[in-house]
Amino acid sequence: MVGVALSRWTMSYFATAVIALLAAEGLMLAGIGYPQAPIGAPASLLLVHLIAIGWLSLLMCGALFQFAPVLVAKPLYNNALPLPTLGLLIAGLAALLLAFLQLGGTIHAPFGLFPAAAVLLGAGFGLVLWNLGRTLWAARPLPLPARFVVVGLCCLAATVLFGIVFALVRGGVTAQSQLVDVAALGLPIHVIAGLGGWLTFTAVGVSYRLLAMFMLAPEPEGRTTRGALYFGTAALAAIILGGVAAICTATNLMWAVWAAGVLGIIGLALYGGDILHLYRTRKRRVIELNSRMAGVALANLAATVALGLGLLLAGRFTDHVGVIVFLVAFAWLTGFGLAKLYKIVAFLTWLECYGPVLGKTATPRVQDLVTEPRAKKWFALYFVAVWVAAAALLFTLPWLFRLGAGAMLAATIGIGFQLLRTRRLANVAPALRLPKGARPPHLLHSSVQPS
């Protein structure tokens, strides 16, 4: 990647996302939202959207602004748009969280906040889709990992459209009967399109490239990878398009859910086989902390699918759907996100600081920017805390869930502190830290590296 332009505002996305994650874990520790409140209560909806938009979506957007151009070997369509996009997304998220507080009677405002949230978030995610879409469109024909991202972006569009409908109906802007039906019945589609399509499917596509790159493994491009793409796409089409059709024609929505479930499990099984092959064929025998922790997150994804199947066969899935959503959000997506963030921050900081002087003077390695033994204990604490919190949800032990949330918060603070040390070059030996010509990195934005 030396010579590739850095995304100027990716670090700002990452910093905002980590702050949102810390805030969400603090709310869980304080007993706000699910499981202390019903899963559909305003406090729970506030917590869910703080995680889904504030943490996971901002993390994914920041990563894609940097890595989508790498996936297709083309520059980002517009490098100036990510900053106003971030402003719109933060303002939209703030309006949405205030709208939930207004819905719960915590605050009072002379006007409805849901329509404002719909406009701001619609505009922000619209800019994300425009910028990344134009970038990918210019690079056709796309490599396989980028095709996963395309499907993920389509699911983002569907998720946002559902969210806008919910906001307009809740905000009293429209009472059109079909939109009211979508708002009443479309929540499962909104959740699956967001967590399964936008976040998981995009992470799957990016993981093919990042895991191969960081472990020096051949990138899977065979029939199983194409199978994972086709079965996963078919599953998402079944739940989103089929689900909407079922709502509009007053047909039972469950056929779409079952069809999507079967196709999705086949796709995930093919993806799991690819990842196992990638770990086995890597040239880097001793893998770095980020790849080990990504492996734990991927194992968590497999365990979550197995638990979901077990609950379905036992007829208890509806009773414990909150456990499944929690595991997808924290054991899989957050675990994988934190693991990759640990490497990406170091990698981008190294490129920004030492890229201009490579070959001209002695520079540190990427691994010299981190201290893995310090970070390893925080990752271990994080995953153990998530498992404890999930068990607490499964066995209805709210006090144990808050204990787990507190440990998750402590672990995230520890990982965040390690990211801060990396960005400040605090782990680099003083003699190598800033050779002549190297530029110290800014905390929240990157200097665009000349190509």
Tokens representing 59?
A: 């993390």
Minimum mean pLDDT among 77-86, 213-222, 224-233, 376-385: which range? 213-222
What does the block give as tokens for 96? 């949405």
CA distance 259 to 273: 22
* DSSP-derived secondary structure for 382-447: HHHHHHHHHHHHHTT-HHHHHHHHHHHHHHHHHHHHHHHHHHTTTTS-HHHHS-TT--PPPSS--P
Rg (CA), the chain: 22
Q: What is the pLDDT of residue 112?
A: 83
The conformation of residue 139, written as its DSSP 8-state character, comes to T
Residue 451 has pLDDT above 50, yes or no: no
Predicted local distance difference test score (pLDDT) of residue 3: 53
Q: Helices H, strands E: what count in the chain?
A: 17, 0
| pLDDT in the model for residue 355 | 86
**Measured over all CA atoms, what is the biggest interatomic distance in the chain, rounded to whole angstroms?**
70
- Of 43, 87, 11, the C-alpha closest to 443 is 11
- Kindly report the pTM of this predicted structure: 0.95
Rounded Cα–Cα distance for residues 92 and 89 (Å): 5
Nearest by Cα to 293 from 335, 330, 332, 334: 335
pLDDT tens digits along 349-362: 999 999 888 888 88
Which has the minimum average pLDDT: 156-165, 217-226, 393-402? 217-226
The model's pLDDT over 271-294, given as tens digits with 9 standing for 90+, comes to: 999 999 999 999 888 899 999 999
Summarize the confidence of residues 370-377 as an average pLDDT: 96
CA 321, 323, 324, 325 torsion-angle sign:
positive
d(CA 374, CA 156): 36
Any residues with CB less than 8 A from the CB of 233 and at least 6 apart, and which?
151
- State the chain's mean pLDDT as an integer: 93
Say what percent of the chain tops pLDDT 90. Answer: 77
By mean pLDDT, which of 46-50, 105-109, 391-395 is the weakest?
105-109
User: pLDDT for 171-227, tens place per residue?
Assistant: 889 898 889 988 999 999 999 999 999 999 999 999 998 889 888 888 887 899 999
- pLDDT of residue 74 exceeding 70, the answer is yes
Contacts 24+ apart (CB under 8 A), 69-73: 69/4, 69/5, 69/7, 69/135, 70/1, 70/4, 70/209, 71/143, 71/145, 71/146, 71/149, 71/205, 71/206, 71/209, 72/135, 72/136, 72/138, 72/139, 72/142, 72/143, 72/146, 73/139
Instruction: Please check the confidence at residue 423 and state whether its pLDDT lies above 90.
Output: yes
Q: What is the pLDDT of residue 449?
A: 54
What pLDDT is attached to residue 4? 62
Quick one: pLDDT band at residue 448, thresholds 50, 70, 90? low
> Phi/psi zone of residue 429: left (φ > 0), alpha (ψ -120 to 50 degrees), beta?
beta
Tens of pLDDT along 328-344? 999 999 999 999 999 99
Say how far apart CA 422 and CA 437 lie, in whole Å: 19
Neighbours of 415 (CB within 10 A): 23
Residue 409 and residue 29 in contact, taking contact as beta carbons nearer than 8 Å: yes
Cα–Cα separations (whole angstroms), residue 3 to 227, 356, 361: 34, 9, 17
